[in-house]
Amino acid sequence: MSTDTVTNAESTPDVEQPWAELGLKPDEYQRIRDILDRRPTSCELAMYSVMWSEHCSYKSSKVHLKRFGEIPQETPAGKMLAGIGENAGVIDIGEGYAVTFKVESHNHPSYVEPYQGAATGVGGIVRDIIAMGARPVAVMDPLRFGPLDAPDTKRVLPGIVSGIGGYGNSLGLPNIGGEVVFDPTYIGNPLVNALCVGVMRHEDLHLANATGVGNQMILYGAKTGGDGIGGVSILASETFAEGGPTKRPAVQVGDPFMEKLLIECTLELFAAKVVEGIQDLGGGGLSCATSELASAGDGGMRVSLDKVPLRDASLSPEEILMSESQERMMACVTPANVEEFLKICAKWDVQADVIGEVTDTGRLEIDWHGERVVDVLPETVAHEGPVYNRPFARPAWQDELQADGAEKLPRATTSAELRDTLLQLVGSPNLCDKSWITDQYDRYVLGNSVLAQPEDSGMIRVDETSGLGVAVSTDCNGRFAKLDPYTGAKLALAESFRNVATTGARPVAVSDCLNFGSPEDPDVMWQFTEAIRGLVDGCKELGIPVTGGNVSFYNQTGEVAILPTPVIGVLGVIDDVTRRTPIGFTGEMEGHQLYLLGETAEELSGSEWAHVVHGHLGGRPPAVDLAAEQQLADILINASRDGLIDAAHDVSDGGVAQTLVESALRGGVGARVWAPDNLDPFLFLFAESAGRAVVAVPRTEEVRFTDMCTARRFPHTKIGVITGDTLDVQDQFEIPLTELREVWTATLPAALA
């Protein structure tokens, strides 16, 4: 096949082109022709199809995501050094340090090929972090699966977990948190979100642009192969259909060893100050890197595509442009620094090749063996893709769903029934012990993991001398979001915020991964817009900005969309990590007083109890009061700093019962508790009202602690004492910790063995 050059395209305007197979719509193809004033070459068509895909262009979400700009860009810790639009947001955390973090989805590839899909999800987010100039210091993975007993879950879950472990462990990054949630809507659409945190000194911040005419463009890392072709356009931007062709070749294949070399090599390149601008090659591969770097810089770039080192010599130029082969980066380097750059790469055995240079033409020009195959304005590829105002409307079924509250369902009333309910919940898939999964992740490597799962948030020491650290949590209750996406998004934000504060860190910034069904469905689009509205309002109220994130649409098989799942990651800062608050009740805490902070209402809709006991989803989610969350956070942070509490655990899925069980099993010591006078024991144990936490207060600090709560007029109720080796709910039932542990730990091994 001869090369389709620009000249050829000009002289053969009527050639049939495979735009539909590449995922473009008729009007989008016409728009490309209008922009170029001719038909695109096959290489140009490849680039536009990739970059105008939903995954890369955010064409359905862009108009709504703009609203994040309304949130003040200051964080409680300091200013934002880089925000949305960069590879990842960067926050000043003091002492000259900056932190960058971001959460992204790798949902579709992980369904098609669980191990590689999940592995390369970790790889992609880690490269986003190194591209900012930061050293990655931790990862976390919020996961969603179909029912635990579904046959496909047994295929997907072990593969995804070993992919995350296999890649992250080999990279030497501790995995310190995340979530594992099961729900029938995720069958056929598992969610694999990956978060990475990186740390740098302020002066090390690097941005993605190619400036300086004559500067050289260097591609380094792995060679380019035929994997991941069309990953973003064919795989991540469509729903799965029965009987379609296999999409496995569109999944990338990861090499964590190469990525580890790439991390060390890149950080050494930064330290040697031989990099002007840099970007990782992720979704969209070279099409994305060349067009984005060029349009963010001086605008012109010339690339010789035949200089790209290949794993497979038979690849066509179109395939090279679309390949999403992993572990590649592109840097802009001054001619004087090229030699030093190549020398550092050689030290790390990393291949590096000059493949182009920055020009003053304002155009992105790509040649293949001396013939021009691409000649475009880079911004038309990178930023001027179609923007859709997709129709959205409140679903016809929403009212009926909200009218069907769980509060009317039959509840356990006798002591024996309450005891059985608790055990049924403790052993249920969403609440049971997750160590079958998390024991496959290295949580210790790098030696700075102060807290890791199952703690409320993961915490990393940043400075060994001062004790400065960061904490991160990710949360989302998709059932709440289904019942009311506006409130559900706020609740996800509130829970993540609270989880960071319970460990003693001050929440400062948000990254989100918005997982939804098809944007072409007005019901789904309404859920999406409502979730954004909730998140924007919530962030404004809490005074923390959204620093970046990712949208994943088309998580839908046929007519069935997933629960709307806006996963919210919150990052917090703690001045001294030795003051962190863990969740466990330990032997040293024998006799400590247990307080329930916050108010408990009759809120059962969307709860784990309704889900597990009744298989019910309906009603309205718990009310969310962000001013109260803010107050609760202040109390938790101050109490931690002043030594007034020794343990704290947030109350969320499963209610106070689950909170107590997790704290007791974590530390190995039980508790004697009682329902407060005005509260029905069932609601005390299982209601899921927001804005609550259980704290363990030493007797010597009890007065100071309660005085602090009283002064802030924050509801605090003594509910018990840490003691013994049982969970004793007075006047109701008593369960030995050994029995709780047996029930709690049995579920996953039994299902996945």
Partner 1 sequence: MKVGVVTFPGSLDDVDARRAAAVAGAEAVALWHGDADLHGVDAVVLPGGFSYGDYLRAGAISRFAPVMETIIKKAGEGLPVLGICNGFQVLCESHLLPGALIKNHHRKFICKDQGLRIENNRTAWTSDYDANHEITIVLKNQDGSFVADEATLDRLEGEGRVVARYLGNPNGSYRDIAGITNERGNVVGLMPHPEHAVETLTGPTTDGLGFFTSVLKAVVAS
CB of 432 to partner 1, least distance (A): 18
Nearer to partner 1, 242 or 349 (CB): 349
**Spatial separation of the C-alpha atoms in residues 64 and 285, rounded to whole Å:** 26
CB of 634 to partner 1, least distance (A): 25
149 is in an annotated binding site: no
Nearer to partner 1, 161 or 514 (CB): 161
Nearest residue to 195 via CA among 227, 156, 164: 164
**Spatial separation of the C-alpha atoms in residues 641 and 452, rounded to whole Å:** 20
CB of 458 to partner 1, least distance (A): 12
Q: How far is CA 209 from the centre of its chain?
A: 25
325 is in an annotated binding site: yes
Phi and psi at residue 404, to the nearest 5°: -95, 65
Nearer to partner 1, 66 or 347 (CB): 347
106 is in an annotated binding site: yes
The DSSP 8-state label assigned to residue 272 in this structure reads T
CB of 440 to partner 1, least distance (A): 5
**Spatial separation of the C-alpha atoms in residues 232 and 323, rounded to whole Å:** 10
Q: Contact residues for partner 1 (CB under 8 A)?
A: 162, 165-166, 169-172, 255-258, 260-261, 348-349, 439-450, 461, 464, 577-578
CB of 191 to partner 1, least distance (A): 22
Q: Is 716 a catalytic residue?
A: no
252 is in an annotated binding site: yes
* Active-site option among 55, 64, 616, 649: 55
Nearer to partner 1, 261 or 661 (CB): 261
Nearer to partner 1, 261 or 275 (CB): 261
**Spatial separation of the C-alpha atoms in residues 642 and 701, rounded to whole Å:** 10
Nearer to partner 1, 60 or 640 (CB): 640
3-state SS string for 114-174: HHHHHHHHHHHHHHHHHHCCCEEEEEEEEEEECCCCCHHHHHHHHHHHHHHHHHHHHHCCC
3-state SS class at 421: helix
CB of 497 to partner 1, least distance (A): 25
* Active-site option among 64, 106, 611, 716: 106
73 is in an annotated binding site: no
280 is in an annotated binding site: yes
Q: Is 206 a catalytic residue?
A: no
**Spatial separation of the C-alpha atoms in residues 343 and 349, rounded to whole Å:** 10
Nearest residue to 139 via CA among 180, 97, 167, 110: 167
CB of 123 to partner 1, least distance (A): 13
552 is in an annotated binding site: yes
Sequential DSSP letters for 664-728: HHHHT--EEE---TTS-HHHHHH---SS-EEEEE-GGGHHHHHHHHHHTT--EEEEEEE-SSEEE
716 is in an annotated binding site: no
Where are the extended beta strands (E) located within 202-267? 216-221
Name the residue with tokens 């880690």.
126
Helix (H) or strand (E) holding 341: helix 338-347
Nearer to partner 1, 137 or 687 (CB): 137
Binding site per annotation, positions for ATP = 58, 102, 512, 549
Binding site per annotation, positions for Mg(2+) = 104, 128, 280, 550
Binding site per annotation, positions for substrate = 105-108, 127, 252, 324-326, 552
Catalytic site positions: 55, 106
